[in-house]
């Protein structure tokens, strides 16, 4: 029991070292990341642009139709 308490005390970070620890842990995590290749990044970017464009046109079309429907209803 005392060993666990001592181990916990040695793992505690001093306040001035928290930034250093954060930086080191962040750098370690970024080294684990599997970054996409340039070709993969370009393909995914194109897919995102196409999907955003299609959805914008679709939602814009729905908006235009509903605007006309409500305009007809309110004119009566």
Residue 34: domain span = 2-75
Q: What is the DSSP string of 8-76?
A: HHHHPPPGGGHHHHHHHHHHHHHHH--PPPHHHHHHHHHHHHHHHHHHHHHHHHHHHHHHHHHHHHHH-
pTM above 0.75, yes or no: no
> What pLDDT shows up at residue 18?
85
Regions of the chain with pLDDT less than 70: 1-16
Q: How many domains does the chain have?
A: 1
> What pLDDT shows up at residue 38?
97
| DSSP-derived 3-state class of residue 1 | coil
């Amino acid at each position: 029991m005392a060993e666990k308490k001592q181990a916990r005390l040695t793992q505690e970070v001093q306040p001035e070292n928290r930034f250093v620890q954060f930086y080191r842990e962040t750098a370690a995590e970024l080294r684990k990341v599997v970054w996409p290749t340039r070709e993969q990044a370009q393909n995914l970017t194109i897919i995102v642009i196409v999907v955003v464009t299609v959805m914008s046109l679709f939602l814009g079309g729905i908006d235009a139709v509903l605007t006309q429907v409500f305009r007809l209803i309110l004119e009566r």
